[in-house]
A and B are shown apart, each in its own frame.
Chain A
Amino acid sequence: MTELSIVGRSVPRVDALAKVTGKAKYSVDLKLPGMLHGKILRSPYPHARIVSIDTSEVEKLARVKAVVTGQDAPEERVGHIRDRYILARDTVRFVGEAVAAVAADSIEAAEEALELIKVDYEELPAIFDAEEALEPRASVIVHPALLQCALTPQPYPLYRFEPDRPNVYIHRQIRKGDMEKGFREADFVLEHKFSTPAVQHSCLELHNAVARPEPDGGLTVWDSTHILFKHKADLCRLFRLPPSKVRVVSLYIGGCFGGKAGTIVPAIASLLALKARRPVKLVFNRDEVFVDGASRAAMTINIKDGVMKDGTLLAREMRMVLNAGAYSGSTTLVTKNATFGAVGSYRVPNFKLDSYAVATNDPPTGAFRGYGSTEVIWAVESQMDMLAAELDIDPVAIRRRNLLKEGDEDVCGMRTCSMGARECLEKVARWIEWDKESPREEGPWKKGKGIALGNKYTMPATRSMVHVKVHQDATIEVRHSAHEVGQGSGTALAQIAAEEFGTSVDKIRMVFTDTALTPYDAGSVSSRSTFHTGNALLRACRDVKRRIFEMASARLETQPKDLHLREGVILVQGSDKSLRVADLFAPAGYLLEGGELSGNGTFVGPLESEDAETGQGKRPVTYYAHGANAVEVMVNVETGEVRVVKNGTCFDMGQPINPKLCEAQMEGGMGMGIGGALYEEILVAKGEVLNPNFLNYKFPSSLDVPACGNVKSMIAAVPHDEGPYGAKGFSEGGLVAVAPAIANAIFNATGLRIRDLPITKEKVFRMLKSITDKELPPK
């Protein structure tokens, strides 16, 4: 195996200089000539009929250049199930639904204009509880015509409607083995219910888009998102424009985490721009992001396990209910794919899972880092420790016993490969000194250690295309559409290109995420970019190298197979002869042979048939990244405060392209995980978000994470045969196991088991108090 020079090295990020000098541009920074500012009027009711909208007062204002309502909005709808008009037509279904929008020459003028729009609503009964809404005789039906909605085409089975449960968007099933037999033969059965709240991505860059109408009736949209081709397709469909007339561009993205998947923002900006015939910038306020930023759906997870005395899992039955909110968004796919969190790690001979996405009049939800695996793994990994406690088995041992091995079949019927979980588990256990007895108390603080396993799948059947061009000066231009949302996709791809061309990263120029310039990519989703865009890039590089070697072989009088490239020079194996790339060009700049020195590469992710009834398939996911977290916590038994003092993460992402950037993802996942474990919860009452701001929705600051010396991020790479240089994909995985590791550590410290996130100070305090009160002698 040839040694790698750039891939596997921690080169500095290619975008770091622009970002540390404030020069990096985000779509929210754009200012176009004649640009207007858009603002949205939102429904104050969770469920209501729109009786009338009167915009006549606004139309008189000179500073307002466009006002639109549902009547102006496209008839086409958005969502995986196409159930949402971009501006509500007859019915609003959540507090905050967009009802009208204006474009004015300043933000202040736009906000003042909203106050002049008169909307007459007729309130309707609303439903907020997912279990209630799940019932066949639910008191309120959120989408009476759900079954008539068109579906966004997917290559794999996704939709399983439940006609007799009118509020179910989708029901997903996995069936394997004989549950009755499994539970009957088990020595011990344990059943618990877990829950996770709605949480908000809280990307620092607010949701925004800038839309500019073009003279030919088309659109250019600068879009803060991670899936620009999907947005382009939606915009073409919504505004009945051919693909050649719609251009979508993403610059740098100030964080995404799945929150910017929805098309609402660019669509409303486009609607205003087309109406005003001027560019429009639409930026959500922070409270709008909380309400209409597609937060993560609250979930309840029931798990019933049948185990042998030695901890071997015989049967596992799971039921998940997601409160998807008023529109289906991406939560339909989340409901299907979240289940892989329960599939990727353990061997279970008898398995039954039902997962429901339920419509309510809560705000709509969507994709969030982990795509549901975080919530499912919260439940599974808490339960594993509870089983261990009941059976008096070590938590690490019980996981080892049940871990899938290479070649095992998982509960969906997929053969396990590139399975590094075992080594990750060992590494974090060793780092936290799992077997070592350590002091357990420090004044009112009780200390404990906890471990959890994690996995993150990457979805099947997606594709990426890359175009590569070699310039006269032997610099390599890579055109790709893998968004830079902060994870470092541009750097990883530059490293792959540099490796292929035997050069350094500074010789690689990236042109990214512009549908007019860069080829199709399914987007920076599902931890897929390194694998899919990376593979497409490899093929593009090899395509252009083939051309270079063909041209050079004639001039060097040798075979193409004897040639290789290093620093812009074509070298001949076992000879002094060489040719510079520049020599293939005339001094004036054209390629002597004509045309350009360019190549294309396409990579299509695997697609195998899948049974919608049983979830069985040879390849329901492309691959899994595997990992583990070990944490040490301190719990103050007087106040209930929990501090995470140590965190060790280890992940198998296949060959790491850039180890430091992988570490950075593990550390970021730790931060987000601590937030989800201890603090974060979107509080909703009667459909209204009570804490739509950073004052009342807390996520970790620099004071809420362990000291640098107590954080360790490790890699235990198991190469994947199909990945570029053996790489898989990574980013989401760093998050998924943090919360259960913390809960397991709290149990270890105090004997308290909390099954509902977040584990707030109040919850811990109340639990402690209820224990001590019970022990108090009667007065």
Chain B
Amino acid sequence: MSRKHAIELKINGDIHEVLVEPRTTLLHVLREDLALTGTKEGCNAGDCGACTVLMDHKPVASCLFLAIEAQGKEILTIEGLDQQGRLHPLQQAFIDYYAVQCGFCTPGMILSAKALFDKNPQPTEEEVREAISGNLCRCTGYVKIVEAILAASQQR
């Protein structure tokens, strides 16, 4: 007997119907059921930020969010950020300011920065650091990431 529930999720403007168990996380649904592998798993415990998505414009650790509770919310993943191939200023800035190395933290990092911009379009460096403090990066030392985010904010 299936323990699964049929739910509807709104992701990047699209409606998806999926079958989930109550214990299934949003991260799992995105990666396994919807092939949206841009959102990453780094720790499955809410500590690293690699699984960050935006839910109603707020950054959320999708590894700690039950899929069943994500119904009725507007979810944005990294795949939904560029508009028909036109990059968001943050994405362009990450390229232009060499803020990408292994790239695994990058989707979560960009979305956290976008959430910051939605509240505060001209953040200070301190505010940027605070906003991405839940996104761990092992490659960059954060220097070029912060520079990229500040540069993107100046372009708006």
Contact = CB atoms under 8 A, between A and B. Distances in A.
Chain B binds chain A: yes
Interface of A: 10, 12-13, 15-26, 28-29, 31, 201-206, 252-257, 285-286, 485-488, 660-661, 663-664, 667-672, 693-695, 699-703, 705, 707-708, 711
Contacts of A668: 101, 138-141
Interface string B41-68: 1111101101000000000000000000
B100 interface: yes
A105 to B, nearest CB: 12
B106 A20 contact: yes
Contacts of B48: 204, 694
7 contacts: A12-B96, A20-B91, A206-B42, A286-B44, A668-B141, A670-B141, A694-B45
A201 B106 CA distance: 18
A16 B40 contact: no
Interface of B: 31-32, 35-45, 47-48, 50, 77-79, 81-82, 87, 91, 94-96, 98, 100-107, 110, 125, 128-130, 132-147, 150
B32 A664 contact: no
Contacts of B95: 12-13, 16-17, 20
A667 B39 CA distance: 25
Given A12-B95, A699-B136, A708-B125, A255 B142 contact: no
Given A254-B40, A695-B45, 6 more contacts: A22-B107, A28-B40, A488-B101, A671-B140, A702-B129, A708-B143
B146 A671 contact: no
Dominant secondary structure of chain B at its interface with chain A: loop
A588 to B, nearest CB: 32
A485 B102 contact: yes
Contact of A204 (B50, B133, B143): B50
Nearest to A658: B98
B101 to A, nearest CB: 4
A672 B42 CA distance: 17
A705 B142 contact: yes
A206 B31 CA distance: 15
Contact of B41 (A17, A23, A206, A670): A206
A667 B150 CA distance: 18
A29 B31 contact: yes
B91 A701 contact: no
A171 B94 CA distance: 46
A699 B143 contact: no
B141 A705 contact: yes
A13 B100 contact: yes
Contacts of A670: 141, 143
Contacts of A202: 136, 138
B35 A31 contact: yes
B100 A20 contact: yes
Contacts of A22: 36-39, 77-79, 107
A695 B61 CA distance: 14
A16 B94 contact: yes
Contacts of B104: 26, 203-205, 254-255
B32 A31 contact: yes
Contact of B103 (A24, A201, A671, A700): A24
A664 B101 contact: yes
A316 to B, nearest CB: 32
Contacts of B79: 21-23
A661 B98 CA distance: 7
Contacts of B140: 664, 667-668, 671
Contact of A701 (B41, B82, B136, B144): B136
Nearest to A671: B141
Q: Which of B35, B45, B87, B143 has most A Cβ within 10 Å?
A: B143
Contacts of A664: 98, 101, 139-140, 144
B101 A671 contact: no
Contacts of A28: 40-41
Contact of A21 (B35, B87, B98, B128): B87
A25 B40 contact: no
Contacts of B132: 702
Contact of A19 (B100, B133, B135): B100
Given A695-B47, A702-B132, A252 B146 contact: no
Nearest to B143: A667
Contacts of B138: 201-204, 255, 257, 668, 671-672, 699
A668 B79 CA distance: 26
B42 A711 contact: no
A204 B100 contact: no
B81 to A, nearest CB: 8
Leading 7 A-B pairs by shortest Cβ distance: A22-B38, A486-B102, A19-B103, A671-B141, A254-B104, A22-B78, A694-B47
B98 A12 contact: yes
Contacts of A486: 101-103, 139
A22 B130 CA distance: 23
A364 B94 CA distance: 37
Contacts of A702: 128-130, 132-133, 135, 137, 142, 145-146
A286 B139 CA distance: 18
A12 B139 CA distance: 17
Contacts of B133: 701-703
Nearest to B95: A16
Nearest to A669: B141
Contacts of A13: 95, 98, 100
Contacts of A254: 40, 102-104
Contacts of A669: 141
A727 B93 CA distance: 28
Nearest to B97: A660
Contacts of B146: 702, 708
Q: Which of A206, A286, A701, A705 has most B Cβ within 10 Å?
A: A701
Contact of B137 (A16, A201, A204, A693): A204
Contacts of A257: 138
A204 B136 contact: yes
Nearest to A664: B98
A667 B137 CA distance: 12
B72 to A, nearest CB: 24
B141 A25 contact: no
B6 to A, nearest CB: 18
B49 to A, nearest CB: 9
A558 to B, nearest CB: 42
B39 A255 contact: no
Q: Which of B42, B100, B137 has most A Cβ within 10 Å?
A: B100
Contacts of B100: 13, 15-16, 19-20
B12 to A, nearest CB: 11
B39 to A, nearest CB: 7
A485 B139 CA distance: 10
A109 to B, nearest CB: 12
A13 to B, nearest CB: 6
Q: Which of B50, B96, B142, B147 has most A Cβ within 10 Å?
A: B142
A522 B45 CA distance: 36
B71 to A, nearest CB: 21
Given A699-B136, A708-B125, A29 B102 contact: no
B143 A21 contact: no
Contacts of A672: 138, 141
Contacts of B40: 26, 28, 204-205, 254
Contact of B141 (A21, A252, A667): A667
B37 A21 contact: no
A655 B117 CA distance: 39
Nearest to B140: A668
B131 to A, nearest CB: 9
B147 to A, nearest CB: 6
A339 B91 CA distance: 42
